[in-house]
Amino acid sequence: MSLKRMVLSLPVGAFLFAGCTVGGSGTGTSAGPEGTTFGGSGGQGTGGTGSTGDGGTGGGLFAPGGGGESASAGTGGDGGSGGVEECAGDPYEAKLLPLDMYIMMDRSGSMGWDNNASWNAVKTAINEFVAQPADGHVGVGIGFFPLGVSPPAFGLCGNDGDCGIFGPCTGITCEHDSCSAEAYTNPAAPIAALPAGGTAVQSAISSTSPDGGTPMEPALGGAILYAQESAAANPTHVTTVVLVSDGDPDGCNSSISGVASEAAQGLAAGIQTFVVGIEGASASFEEIAVAGGTSPALIIDAGTDVTTALQAKLEEIRGSVQCSYTMPEVPVGETADFDTTNVVFTLEGTTDEIIFGRVDDASQCVPDELAYYFDNPADPTMIHLCPFACDYIANNKGEIKLTLGCEPPPEPPPPPGPG
């Protein structure tokens, strides 16, 4: 996999340096003696951090520094080329992209066991998360599964058409839980910026109670479809789905592999699926998280405080996903060369620079690689850090800088320290 480089500035924003400059040429300062290999040293470059170039050569040899020629005594070279290329110009802030989270919450009957223990714990965690002070960067919405049927679903049916979106027909009545992904595209509380969005989410949870099975496959499929619609309406937002359930898929022919397939299709469309399994969920939830591009899944075991663990996961999601930035517009009259974009992370208290590589898209992100990708390689408007890179900068204080149009440096070293 070929990685291309780039440079960034955290935690809030990055800076784009418009335009690059190199040192100018100088004039050789002295001539070399007859018979020597090199002539005098080149003059100091101007216009940047210059270097002293090699002078002209003696004996007709061509100087490495671009000097002149001589058949006898060497002549002064044309001077240094001006030295190391460096980016300059006015910095432009690369703004953090707003995050939209759509929570698909299990309301199956098992969530109500032990006097609504799981239901109340999840309810409390979500209510407290959405009640935090708004920072203008987070929107939240919520949906529930299963969705119960409505008339004429409990009446007699002769075929699937009699049930509409609440099918299929069992031969006598419609399926108790809706098995249509279309039904789950309608949110109980649509995605909206906090705090208004949080109030709607809290109201939706308060008016819902546990009942029914776990038709996870159509539920996640519908949630992703809704998230795609929301993302299309808000193209400068990062939109994700958070699936929360206390058990493996059950009903509507749902299976772990089927749910994972829905998550994979969502990822291909730009929607990540985060997975949270409450006590009762199996380790197979990891398959869904992998397919959704968010491994590992959070499995909250018995004896663990569900509210605390889920709150921490929601905060983690907010922090990790918000590693996406808008690309500033290139100043009028200038053309950006996106292939020579650089992202460099400097650890706090050091001058060590870690160069991030570039991959084609989210599917190419792998553990142990500090990398990023463009939303559209041909004409990028957003920069997304891969999960490992995002985690790394979250766990290691430092600064990221973004430079546009500069020659990319060599391959980056492996990330030092904890990642």
| pTM listed for this prediction | 0.64
Distance CA 415, CA 370 (A): 7
* Strand intervals (E) in 85-234: 86-87, 91-94, 99-106, 138-145, 189-193
Distance CA 296, CA 290 (A): 7
Picking from 92, 87, 93, 25, the residue whose alpha carbon sits closest to that of residue 407 is 87
Q: Is the dihedral of CA 371, 376, 378, 381 positive or negative?
A: negative
Q: Answer yes or no: are the C-beta atoms of 240 and 136 closer than 8 Å.
A: no
Which amino acid is present at 266?
A: G
Q: Answer yes or no: are the C-beta atoms of 357 and 413 closer than 8 Å.
A: no
Mean pLDDT confidence for 348-361? 86
Residue with tokens 């890179």: 389
Distance CA 419, CA 388 (A): 7
Mean pLDDT confidence for 100-120? 95
Q: What is the pLDDT of residue 151?
A: 47
Residue 384: left if φ>0, alpha if ψ -120 to 50, beta else—which one?
beta
Q: What is the pLDDT of residue 275?
A: 97
Q: What is the pLDDT of residue 91?
A: 42
Structure token pair of residue 335 = 């053309």
3-state secondary structure at position 388: helix
Q: Answer yes or no: are the C-beta atoms of 245 and 216 closer than 8 Å.
A: yes
| Start and end residues for every CATH 3.40.50.410 domain found in the chain | 99-148+184-321
Q: What is the pLDDT of residue 367?
A: 82
* Mean per-residue pLDDT over the chain, rounded: 75
Between 353 and 55, name the one with better pLDDT.
353
| pLDDT tens digits, 215-268 | 999 999 999 999 999 999 998 899 999 999 999 998 888 999 999 999 999 999
- φ, ψ for residue 149, nearest 5 deg: -90, 160
Strands 86-87 and 398-404: unpaired
Mean pLDDT confidence for 309-313? 94
Reported confidence tier of residue 307, pLDDT bands at 50, 70, 90: very high
Q: Answer yes or no: are the C-beta atoms of 163 and 242 closer than 8 Å.
A: no
Residue 90 above 70 pLDDT? no
Between 199 and 11, name the one with better pLDDT.
199
Give the total residue count for the chain. 419
Reported confidence tier of residue 69, pLDDT bands at 50, 70, 90: very low
Q: What is the pLDDT of residue 172?
A: 74
- Domain 99-148+184-321 carries which CATH code? 3.40.50.410
Q: Answer yes or no: are the C-beta atoms of 147 and 252 closer than 8 Å.
A: no
Residue 188 above 50 pLDDT? yes
State the Rg of the chain over Cα: 29
Distance CA 419, CA 398 (A): 13
| pLDDT tens digits, 153-169 | 455 778 877 776 566 67
Q: What is the pLDDT of residue 146?
A: 94
Residue 89 above 70 pLDDT? no
Reported confidence tier of residue 59, pLDDT bands at 50, 70, 90: very low
